[in-house]
Amino acid sequence: GEAWLIMSDLAEHIGLRSQEELQKWIADAGLTVLEKLDIAPRHAKSSDQSDPLYEARVLEITSLYRLKEKV
């Protein structure tokens, strides 16, 4: 079977975690990434320059990770 994980990289842009940490957590859980699909935000907050997180949101990417157990 597969597990799907939808994850934004906003936390990376504001310094809460790194991409390497996410990859390590996936590996530590005994999983491997089969595929990663990315999309840029289209919501209103991503273009709202008055939003305190605007600088991070403009860089944000949301990803769908297709995960499978390592064998």
User: Where in the chain are the domains?
Assistant: 3-69
Residue 12 to residue 7: CA distance in whole angstroms: 11
* Per-residue confidence band for 44, with pLDDT thresholds at 50, 70 and 90: confident
pTM of the model: 0.85
Helix (H/G/I), strand (E/B), else coil: 18: coil
Mean pLDDT of 16-41: 97
pLDDT score of 45 = 84
One-letter identity of residue 66: R
Residue with tokens 């699909």: 37
